[in-house]
């Protein structure tokens, strides 16, 4: 009898949740009969030898690895700050913020029942599920306005989300936004399984998002690429935006960044 690998890991109590299983598998941390398997849906014999490599995932989902790189690269200190996780899902970004010293995190998502239990029961986390960020106002932040926001949204362009984030952040607020080419490029540029491979499209998407952010009023202060691919295999990027301060011109650096990302992750 065969089962999905993520389910088998959970049933054998090698991980505490299916979401954690998926994160470890996609991070290349699971061996099946000595062979690395990186797809959670792979069917595996129930008596297969399973082994987890290295340290366990430090966050409730692999998304935390993306935010960790951004915080380190951009030199962002979260200690004692109110924060907001837009598109929280399982809560990888939220978990990272709490571990980095955030006073409180508003975990916002249109979905329901996705946030990891350890975060649901954490008094530092305000679970705002079934909430569309585009309809949120400052009055919703009962414990104080956030001074930091992360954005990791799917099936919607950042251009539609950034205006509201700008409005609800405090005056000195800053943002780490995950730029996902598959949700920013036109359908004609998205290949099989939802993957965008064309480097020129990646560069064009990044430039358009940064231009849109600047038009809203954000300063663009940093840009890097995600240390891991997205769930379907897309290379993604991280932008550092601020409400105060002048923007840097990243136009000439975007192509080099895209090349570096593909060189490391391809």
Tell the CATH superfamily of the 63-265 domain: Vaccinia Virus protein VP39 (3.40.50.150)
Helices (H) and strands (E) in the chain, counts: 9, 12
Q: Pairing relation of β-strands 104-108 and 125-128?
A: parallel
Structure confidence at residue 11 (pLDDT): 76
Q: Pairing relation of β-strands 2-4 and 43-45?
A: antiparallel
Three-state SS at 194: helix
The domains spanning 2-52 and 63-265 adopt the same CATH topology: no
Which has the closest alpha carbon to 244: 179, 166, 178, 168? 166
**Count of C-beta atoms within a 10 Å radius of residue 191:** 10
Pick the CATH number of 2-52 from 3.10.290.10, 3.30.2130.10, 3.30.1280.10, 3.40.50.720: 3.10.290.10
Structure confidence at residue 13 (pLDDT): 66
| Torsion region of 184: left, alpha or beta (phi above 0 gives left; psi -120 to 50 gives alpha) | alpha
Structure confidence at residue 190 (pLDDT): 67
Give yes or no for a contact between 245 and 191, defined as CB atoms under 8 angstroms apart: no
pTM (predicted TM-score): 0.80
Structure confidence at residue 234 (pLDDT): 86
State residue 85 phi and psi, 5-degree precision: -110, 105
Structure confidence at residue 51 (pLDDT): 83
Per-residue pLDDT of the chain (266 residues; tens, 9 = 90+): 899 998 888 777 677 667 778 888 988 889 998 899 989 899 999 888 888 887 567 898 889 999 999 999 999 999 999 999 999 999 999 999 999 999 999 999 999 999 999 999 999 999 999 999 999 999 999 999 999 999 999 889 999 999 999 999 999 999 999 999 988 877 766 666 778 888 999 999 999 999 999 999 999 999 999 988 887 788 999 999 999 877 788 888 899 999 999 888 87
Structural domain boundaries of the chain?
Answer: 2-52, 63-265
């Amino acid at each position: 009898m065969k089962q999905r690998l993520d389910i088998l890991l959970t049933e054998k109590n090698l991980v505490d949740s299916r979401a954690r299983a998926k994160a470890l598998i996609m991070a290349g941390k699971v061996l099946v009969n000595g062979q690395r398997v990186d797809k959670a849906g792979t069917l595996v014999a129930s008596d297969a030898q399973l082994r987890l490599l290295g340290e366990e995932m430090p966050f409730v989902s692999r998304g935390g690895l993306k935010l960790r790189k951004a915080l380190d690269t951009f030199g962002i200190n979260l200690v004692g700050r109110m924060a907001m996780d837009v598109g929280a899902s399982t809560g990888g970004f939220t978990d990272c913020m709490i571990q980095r010293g955030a006073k409180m995190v508003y975990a916002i998502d249109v979905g329901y029942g996705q946030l990891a239990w350890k975060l649901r029961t954490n008094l530092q986390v305000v679970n705002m599920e079934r909430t569309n960020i585009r309809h949120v106002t400052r009055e919703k932040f009962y414990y104080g306005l956030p001074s930091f926001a992360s954005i990791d949204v799917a099936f919607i362009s950042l251009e539609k989300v950034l205006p509201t984030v700008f409005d609800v952040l405090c005056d000195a607020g800053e943002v780490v936004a995950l730029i996902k080419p598959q949700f920013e490029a036109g359908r004609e540029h998205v290949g099989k399984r939802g993957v965008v491979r064309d480097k020129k499209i990646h560069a064009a998407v990044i430039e358009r998002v940064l231009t849109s952010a600047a038009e809203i009023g954000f300063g663009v202060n940093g840009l890097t690429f995600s240390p891991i691919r997205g769930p379907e295999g897309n290379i993604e990027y991280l932008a550092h935006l601020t409400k105060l301060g002048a923007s840097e011109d990243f136009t000439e650096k975007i192509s080099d960044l895209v090349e570096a990302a593909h060189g490391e992750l391809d």
